[in-house]
Structure 1
Amino acid sequence: MKKSSLLIAMVLCAGSILAQGKVDMWENFAKTKFEPKYYEKLGEYLFYPTFPADIKALEGKEITIQGFYVPFAPEDGTYIIISKYPMSQCFFCGGGGPESIAEVNFAKDSRKFQVDDLITIKGKLKLNAENMDHVNFILTDAVLVSK
């Protein structure tokens, strides 16, 4: 009886540990604090991030994130934007904040996406606190995991 109870407890603990292994990067990004600072180039206030230590520890490491394709990109098309939310709720069009979007720079040419395609991307995390031409969370050398 003791052996079967121990076995059941081990299985339950293992399941709990495995469930915790999947990290929601959007939840991590949401820990970032933003403060308004004056941006000379535009002559207005913009929100600048202060990244917490656990996010700073991920910089340069490979992460996986799932998000919705948002059709916002520069004219040269070198990157795409993904959002935690569909387009109607994204940072640019709805109520999401800057922690709800990420810039994706693919290692190779990416497939073309449709608005609100839910895609999973893997890439190296780069944090951006100063260059206002780019978003705060950037994935470099990215690859499409699933569409």
Structure 2
Amino acid sequence: MITFGNANFKYRSDSYVRQPKKEFAFIVVFVLISALQAMGQAVPDSWALFAKTKFEPKYHEKAQEYLMHPNFPPEIKAMEGKEISVVGYFLPFAPEGSGYIIISKYPMSQCYFCGGGGPESIAEVNFAKSQAKFQMDDLITVKGKLKLNADDMDHINFIVVDAELIKR
């Protein structure tokens, strides 16, 4: 018998044998759970990235009015040409047969065109292959390369080119 303070312990030589199988299984499960969590966090929120853009009014001769002009921060400029994913609501504002669609962080009632969203809350999507028709407010996920647009007022500031539909 071993005594520590007021506690008495029986000593059995077989009770101190380690059981590596249980410890190994615990470690494997822990590593797998951690890896799955890390994978879920690996995709940055594109809308949060777009929201870092500052907009200021600038007079456009073609429109003969002031429009919001983007000032892209270095963090967004570094993403240009790189692959991103965007989850957004389909908005039926692109001209028929234009080859692109517009998606929004918010549904139609809250979007940039109809509600309180800003220009950082919409993106133009140019698909690599033609896509089926979407319904207003369909929540879709697309993946493609980011293109930034500061000067062509016929297009959105954030454009996803060579896009593919990931989820509908």
TM-score normalised to structure 1 length:
0.88
Higher relative contact order (CA 8 A, sep 6+): 1
Residue of structure 2 aligned with 1:32, choices 23, 28, 53: 53
Write the distance in 2 (CA, Å) between the matches of 1:116 and 1:133: 22
- The aligned counterpart of 1:60 is 81
In the alignment, what sits opposite 1:123?
144
Change in Cα spacing, 1:51 to 1:115, as seen in structure 2 (3 Å) is same
Q: In the alignment, what sits opposite 1:89?
A: 110
Given the alignment, which residue of 135, 150, 158 partners 1:114? 135
| Residue of structure 1 in register with 2:167 after alignment | 146
CA separation of 1:108 and 1:36: change in aligned 2, threshold 3 A:
same
Q: CA RMSD in A?
A: 2.1
Q: 1:70 aligns with which of 91, 99, 102?
A: 91
Percent identity (aligned): 63
- CA offset digits 1:19-39 (Å, max 9, x no partner): 531211000000000010111
List alignment gaps of at least 5 residues for structure 2. Answer: 1-23
What is the number of residues matched between the two proteins? Answer: 146
Matched AA of 1:111: A
Does the alignment pair 1:43 with 2:64?
A: yes
Q: Which residue of 1 aligns with 2:14?
A: none
Distance 1:114 1:60 in 2: 29
Q: Which stretch has the larger CA shift, 69-78 or 52-61?
A: 69-78
Whole-angstrom CA distance in 2 between matches of 1:13 and 1:120: 25
TM-score (norm 2): 0.78
Q: What is the letter of the counterpart of residue 62 of structure 1?
A: E
Runs of at least 4 residues of structure 1 off by over 6 A? 6-13
